[in-house]
Amino acid sequence: MVGSKNTSICTLYISGKSSYYEAYALRRKFMSEITVEVISENVKEKVHSEVVKLIEDVIKELELNNVKIVEKTSTDGSITLKYGIVPSPSIAINGVLMIIGEKPTKKEIKDLILRATLNI
């Protein structure tokens, strides 16, 4: 059934019942929330602010409304327990460290968020 939550995007696209863009829009509609954690030594650092701004720009560009940005310090006990000692800046998406100790480019962030939407 087209439009049901269990409909495979690949099935829709291959069967010709939907264009790629309609399939992508349907996928976004039923996609679960994506949590992006930005981890730095200090959330007031310039690099931290720049990374958060890049993520916000990508979210706006991709028109995603289910991405939550969580800003954390690397000295936060929950971060240390979850990931160990993390150099800053680092980015975790849905609980998986993806970028460690470097400022990512906008393209890298976009690729990571798109992969999270497609569960790759």
Integer Cα distance of 73 and 84 in angstroms = 12
pLDDT of residue 27: 61
Integer Cα distance of 93 and 97 in angstroms = 7
pLDDT of residue 80: 85
Integer Cα distance of 36 and 70 in angstroms = 6
**Which positions of the chain have pLDDT values less than 50?**
1-18
Q: Cβ contacts of residue 47 below 8 Å, gap of 6+?
A: 40, 88, 89, 103
Fold designation for 32-118: Glutaredoxin (3.40.30)
pLDDT of residue 119: 65
Domain residues of the chain, as ranges? 1-30, 32-118
pLDDT of residue 29: 54
Closest CA to 106 of 67, 52, 64: 52
pLDDT of residue 18: 47
Contact 86, 73 (CB under 8 A): no
pLDDT of residue 19: 54
pLDDT of residue 114: 86
Global pTM reads 0.72
